[in-house]
Amino acid sequence: MREKIMRNFIAQQVIFLVITTLLFNVSCQDEKKDNKQDSQTEWQDKSPKEKWDYTGNYQVTLPCIDCKGIIVKLELKEDGSYRIIKNYNENDNTPGEIKTEIGQFRWSENDSLIILNNEEFSISDNVLSWKNPNIERIETDSTKTYTLRKL
């Protein structure tokens, strides 16, 4: 009789522990989901300036009217300065030409665009998108956006 009481007592304790553990796990998962949703919402509310590590070197090759292509290298620095190098690849008749520009970039009012010398770049993770670059000898196409990739 005593053995039977002891087994019942142990069985009740095991059931109690299992139920308690399950309830604890469920409540922790709900809290993790809430925290994850909160952090995603906070991240989505941030401007691109706050979201992305935009400093660094970027590059793209643009189509050229009379050369093999225009290699554009852009460096954005933490102090707000930039350097852009445009290398007009040589063709059969003309040697390559390199143009360098330095200056300070700024952000648009809502921190969604980087602006350098009146040219606008939208930013996402390791990418700058450049609509209608104002560069001599480029084959212009108003529907295209040129993507500079972070090196």
Determine the structural domain holding residue 132 and report its residue range: 53-150
pTM of the model: 0.67
The domain that holds 76 is classified in CATH as: 2.40.128.640
Q: Domains in the chain: how many in total?
A: 2
Residue 70's Cβ-count burial label (10 Å; 0-12, 13-18, 19+) is buried
The model's pLDDT over 16-69, given as tens digits with 9 standing for 90+, comes to: 777 777 777 776 665 555 555 556 667 567 777 787 888 999 999 998 888 888
Same domain (yes/no): 27, 74: no
Q: What number of helices (H) and strands (E) belong to the chain?
A: 2, 9
Mean pLDDT over residues 93-98, rounded?
Answer: 76
Range list of β-strands (E), 16-144: 56-62, 70-76, 81-88, 97-104, 106-107, 113-116, 119-124, 127-131
